[in-house]
Structure 1
Amino acid sequence: MQDGVLTHAQLVAGGVARAELARMQRRKELRRVHPRIYVDHTGPLNWHQRAWAAVLYADPAYLYGPSAESPRTEQLARPGFVPDPIHVAIDQTRRIKAQPGIVIHRLTNLESHAFGGTPPRLKLEDNALAMAHEARSEIDAVACLAQVVGRSYVTPASLQTALGRFPSLRRRAWIATIIDDLESGSHSVLEHGYLTKVERAHGLPPAERQVPRTTPSGNQFRDVEYAAYGLVVELDGALGHDAWRDQARDADRALDDLAASGTVTARLRWHQVFGTPCRTAHAVARILTSRGWPGDPRPCSGDCPIATDP
């Protein structure tokens, strides 16, 4: 069950005396991986053996972060693939000595976040929120949620429940609103982000929001509309692991095409609003200018790439 990885305590419980343990190591029947952790061969460890060795060394511990999901078979078979360090979570109150190839994280009330598995790991929802807690930026925090949304048994309700186990989560109120949006189907966090990070921060003209329109297919609401210049901005708040990075890349390309052609509808995603708001503002400004806006976008800060001169 442990892919040939054993602890010293397990060997002793199985009747292996100190002299026999030393003899097995001399015969290369066992090899020491970490203090009091052994593997039953002398060759390189595969990913699962490294994961077991890390969890057993730090026991009680659970696979955490990027290590909570095993690498795909095609990744492991890729020539030159170098596996990342194994990340494990231990209880906040414990201190253990670091070992090569193991990254230690500490969580409060660890057992409440734990899931079974072989090796044991954090629950998907709890793992995503723990990673969001450590995320350096808002877009990175959203990406952590995208890793699990739509997976088996992961729902907005289960994310809400997991959030209750993280009373001190960074950006907690903001993340709670994102989860609310997922449940209701609205995009309020994305809409507010566009207003503050793209439109206002870069001096774009004020737009109308949630504008009702009657179409042949029924009533619709447009997220953002610059009616005087014939531009509609639709905000797509969908999250999902498989398409997350591809969506960001494709949306960037589509926005550049819109800016060049002056097409009247732009569809933006999380990446454009929270990841690259300055780039997005510049593209939207180009569309508005092509449709008669006489203004210029302004830099939002000293290092904003937007230039005021054409």
Structure 2
Amino acid sequence: MERLRDEIQGGVISRKQLRELHAQDHDIRRLVRNREITAIHPGVYVNHTGNPTWGQRAWAAVLACWPAALTGRSALPKPPERGPIEVMVPMSRTVRAPCGVIVRRRARFDGYVDWAAYPPRQLVAEAAIDAAAEAADVNEAFSMLADLVQSKALRAGALVEALGHRRRLRDRRLLRELLDDLTAGACSVLEREYLRRVERAHGLPTGERQVADSVAGVSVERDVTYAAYGLVVELDGRAFHRGAASRDADHARDLDAAAVRGLRTVRITYGQVLGDPCRTAVRIGELLARGGWSGELRSCPECSEQRGR
């Protein structure tokens, strides 16, 4: 029993659990004195004297506030290694947060906890919505949600469903816009800004996003494809963090797309999207027109601002 609990809880155990194993208070004091266990929080111990791992800190936080579950960022598949552990308890309880723990009272508790997880945690879609609502800014919120969708930890539809339950959530309308963009296929901050500030704002045709293809035996996924007009837009958000080999591979794929699919590829950077979206839209419009697009580019508020300078 003790060995099983040690494996499941990563060496963390509460005073209550020790008592369930028939340990008396003097037994617990002896274990602490002999340095066989060390207190992490009042009434919660770990079976070594070194720095606890993230998993041990998570177990300790949940046991210290029991019944409780990880919530927000702490409940996501890749939680932040540093910073406080977030746990949730039912709205009916008032729990004093131990050092290094944030306690959140949730109306949505029963039925929204994965009790089979180790440690127990909020359902991932619910946790993602809570974490995004508490993000520092819109880009951080979008990046968080996009990473979950892109890594296939969640479907965008599951996030939309979770948000649908939150009628009183702060910034609910903004989160819905972010999820709409994710559903449309924008999977990074740069892709979302291109979608909003270049494509939609200027009346460009809607491109297909994340189109999977195989050219010359190599699988590729193109950011934005305007197949009817023979144009691919690749958004280079990481251009300054990649080596020569990666850049060569990118350009080889561009060449393959041109030779095999007849698709011309242009690469757009952060500066072109965030710093000068209007000029970028004009140039993309010209390229689309060469491919047969007969639509009309429209002005956006940023275009008007630039003309007024």
Deviations 1:240-298 (A, max 9, x none): xxxxxxx63339999xxxxxxxxx976669xx59xx9652438638969xx9xxxxx99
Deviation at residue 152 of structure 1 after TM alignment = 4.8
Aligned to 2:162: 162
- Inter-CA distance 37–298: structure 2 relative to 1 (3 Å threshold): same
Conserved 8 A contact 1:191-1:235: no
- For 1:181 and 1:208, the matched residues in 2 are separated by 16
**Could you tell me the percent identity over the aligned residues?**
30
Could you state the TM-score of these two structures normalised by the residue count of structure 1? Answer: 0.60
Aligned to 1:127: 127
Secondary structure in 1 matching 2:119: coil
Secondary structure in 1 matching 2:39: strand
Aligned to 1:111: 110
- For 1:71 and 1:157, the matched residues in 2 are separated by 20
Conserved 8 A contact 1:90-1:106: yes
Could you state the TM-score of these two structures normalised by the residue count of structure 2? Answer: 0.60
Aligned to 2:56: 49
- For 1:178 and 1:4, the matched residues in 2 are separated by 40
| Structure 1: gaps spanning 5 or more residues | 76-81, 212-219, 226-231, 237-246, 255-263, 292-296
Deviation at residue 118 of structure 1 after TM alignment = 0.7
Aligned to 2:237: 248
- For 1:210 and 1:86, the matched residues in 2 are separated by 42
Secondary structure in 2 matching 1:89: strand
Deviations 1:205-257 (A, max 9, x none): x655459xxxxxxxx9959x9xxxxxx89597xxxxxxxxxx63339999xxx
Secondary structure in 2 matching 1:33: strand
Aligned to 2:41: 34
- For 1:68 and 1:268, the matched residues in 2 are separated by 35
- For 1:210 and 1:3, the matched residues in 2 are separated by 50
| Structure 2: gaps spanning 5 or more residues | 1-7, 208-223, 248-263, 288-298
Aligned to 1:13: 20
Deviation at residue 10 of structure 1 after TM alignment = 0.9
- For 2:122 and 2:71, the matched residues in 1 are separated by 6
Conserved 8 A contact 1:198-1:280: no
- For 2:195 and 2:157, the matched residues in 1 are separated by 28
Conserved 8 A contact 2:129-2:163: yes
Residue of structure 1 aligned with 2:277, choices 272, 281, 288: 281
Deviation at residue 37 of structure 1 after TM alignment = 0.8
- For 1:281 and 1:58, the matched residues in 2 are separated by 49
- For 2:196 and 2:150, the matched residues in 1 are separated by 29
Conserved 8 A contact 1:233-1:266: yes
1:37 is aligned with what amino acid?
Answer: V
Deviation at residue 22 of structure 1 after TM alignment = 1.6
- For 2:49 and 2:241, the matched residues in 1 are separated by 48
